[in-house]
A and B are shown apart, each in its own frame.
Chain A
Amino acid sequence: MLPAAGLVLEIGSGTGQHVAHFARALPDFVFQPSEMDRERHASIAAWIAHEKLANVRPPLAFDVTQLPWPVRAADAIVCINVIHISPWEATAALMRGAGEILPPGGVLVTYGPYRRDGRHTAPSNEEFDASLKARDSSWGVRDLEAVAAVAKKEGLELEEVVAMPANNFTVVFRRGHSREDGNPARGGSGKREQGMQ
């Protein structure tokens, strides 16, 4: 039943609150936070200490665009609010790195706003996109289709798109198996798959 010592890598841990909650909810998994901004490492460490978590490693400060990553294997990767707050090259590198270190069947779970079918999904996202670009012209809300295309090139299949609160989406990518379920026309895994046909 219990997956043996699964390692979950978080890219862009920010303050560390999500990794703290994940680690508390799933005590048998080991979590590896990472955050390029070293000034945030104190906050991540504070969350780990506050929750008295023994299953979170100290944060790493690696840049996803520097391949290969210092973490050479992870059973799953989670990446929250990163893709729109980084240059496009970071997303390309995220997919490449994930494709390199995930095992067949391993998942990359991303969360954040996306454009769908060439459009923003809400007026608030459009404003948010403009504010991001004003802060850094290389940032911005990405087209989900473009992100999925980059992922596919790296062997990561879009598995699921789930609407979340505040006009965000959870998007799950799964690294393909060498063979086995080689049906390129994904049927989707059921009702939770929304759109992306």
Chain B
Amino acid sequence: MSGNASGFSGPMDLPLVLQAVVFAAEKHRGQVRKDADSTPYIQHPVGLASLLWEVGVHDADTLAAAILHDTIEDTPTTHDELESAFSRSVADLVAEVTDDKRQPKAMRKQRQVEHAAHLSAKACHIKLADKICNLRDAAGAAPVGWSLERRREYFEWARAVVQNLPEKPPKLMALFEDAYSAKP
């Protein structure tokens, strides 16, 4: 969809973002967060887009990919499906921030730290927003059953991932530091 024409649709491809919300809501339907309130899962990816928008990231591909960022990892969605419903660039962005779930968890976590160093600028934005939102949740509405130790490790791991990112936009880094400062 080439955003053009009226000043409104201008550089911001509104239908793409709306469509990403509907697509992700459908894919994550029935999934809930691990917090005590069992928040509908879709609120997490939508929260990323919200945060990115607030810091001035208005690129439609980035916002759409943020909203879709867990679809490959946590639902049966494929790269091809995202490519045909959105675009190659959106699908590639989602793939960039997707862990390989076939690997054991410890290895996956280590891989994510290493892989962070190779992310594109747009993927860095998404990864940072994801870590900010997750730390905020881990500090407040923490996953049920997480020990203090596990929460502390999670904060450390998130920081290790972020430190490896090649692109560290100041506004997002400030939000990350704020979120990190709530480490239990």
Residues of A within 8 A of B131 (CB): none
Residues of A within 8 A of B182 (CB): none
Q: A154: shortest Cβ distance to chain B, in Å?
A: 17
Mask for B28-50, Cβ within 8 A of A = 1, else 0? 00000000000000110011011
Size range of the chain A interface in the assembly: 35 or more
Residues of A within 8 A of B148 (CB): none
A26 at the interface (CB under 8 A from B): yes
Chain B, interface residues (CB within 8 Å), range: 35 or more
B67 touching A192 by the CB < 8 A rule?
no
With A3-B7, A3-B10 known as contacts, the answer to whether A78 contacts B23 (CB < 8 A) is: no
Chain B proximity of A188: nearest CB distance (Å): 10
**In the bound complex, do residue B23 and residue A164 qualify as a contact, i.e. CB atoms below 8 Å apart?**
yes
With the chains together, A107 CA to B47 CA distance in Å?
24
If the complex has contacts A2-B12, A164-B85, are A27 and B54 also in contact, measured as CB distance less than 8 A? yes
> Across the two chains, which residue of chain A brings its CB closest to B67?
A25
**A170-B19, A192-B1 known; A76-B85 Cβ under 8 A:** no
Task: Map CB proximity to A onto B4-40 as digits: 1 under 8 Å, 0 otherwise.
Answer: 1111111110110111011101110000000000000
Which DSSP category, helix, strand, loop or mixed, fits chain B's interface? Answer: helix
Give Cα A141 to B2, complex, Å: 29
- Give the shortest distance, in Å, between B115 (CB) and chain A (any CB): 26
Chain A residues with Cβ below 8 Å from B2 are: 189-190
CB neighbors of B among A138-197 (8 A): 159-160, 162-166, 168, 170, 172, 174, 177, 189-192, 194
Is B63 on the interface with A (CB-CB < 8 A)? yes
| B21 contact set on A, CB distance < 8 A | 18, 21-22, 25
Instruction: Name the contact of A21 in the complex, choosing from B9, B25, B53, B84 (C-beta under 8 A).
Output: B25
Residues of A within 8 A of B12 (CB): 1-3
A residues apposed to B, CB below 8 Å: 1-4, 6, 8, 17-18, 21-22, 24-29, 51, 75-76, 78, 80, 103-107, 109, 111, 159-160, 162-166, 168, 170, 172, 174, 177, 189-192, 194
17 inter-chain pairs at a CB distance below 8 angstroms, sorted by A residue, are: A3-B10, A3-B12, A8-B14, A21-B43, A21-B46, A25-B49, A29-B14, A51-B43, A105-B5, A105-B8, A106-B6, A162-B19, A162-B86, A163-B85, A170-B19, A191-B88, A192-B87
